Amino acid sequence: MTRYSSELQIASDYLNGRGSYNGLSKKYNITPSLIRTWVKTAELNGLESLKVKRTKREYSVDFKLDVVNYYLKSDEGRNLVAAKFNISPSQVYSWTKKVQRGGPEALLPVKKGKPVKMPKKSEKSKKAKRNKQTETLTDKQKYEAILQEKDAKIKELELELIIAKKVAARYPINKRHK
């Protein structure tokens, strides 16, 4: 089952040379950028990757950090990064925002559901130790996350500098101002 009834067909049509992005867009009344995303996903991961997975996929913190790190360091858009890792573009956006707002700890899994009844003291201390061990990031992961944040900040500052230079070139300051 696919998200769109013809998603698999459209991607295979393009890959088999039976239409262009614009031609298929008009034929199926779907935007060319969406078709481009499907085709890129099919090229990178095969046509089977376009099928909706019926099971909920859980990702490790390392995988999430790899995706965010790749997205921030590359000049590729969310759609291409998502196609490369075979995930949703909204997932790339979500993980990136979480890391930017709360650091790598924000990617740790959150317990959901009704709280468990209070166990006896001995059981409680054992579970607390186990939970504490699994929910802390390694020093390497923390270091990588800090480097990611600094790389993102450098990239942002470089863009600001480029914009400032272009504005200054376009609107030079007249030295003989009266």
Question: How many H-runs (helices) and E-runs (strands) does the chain carry?
Answer: 8, 0
Question: What's the pTM?
Answer: 0.48
pLDDT in tens, 48-70: 667 666 667 788 888 998 999 99
| Rounded CA separation 151/136 (Å) | 23
pLDDT in tens, 95-154: 999 988 888 888 887 777 777 776 665 555 655 655 555 456 777 888 888 888 888 888
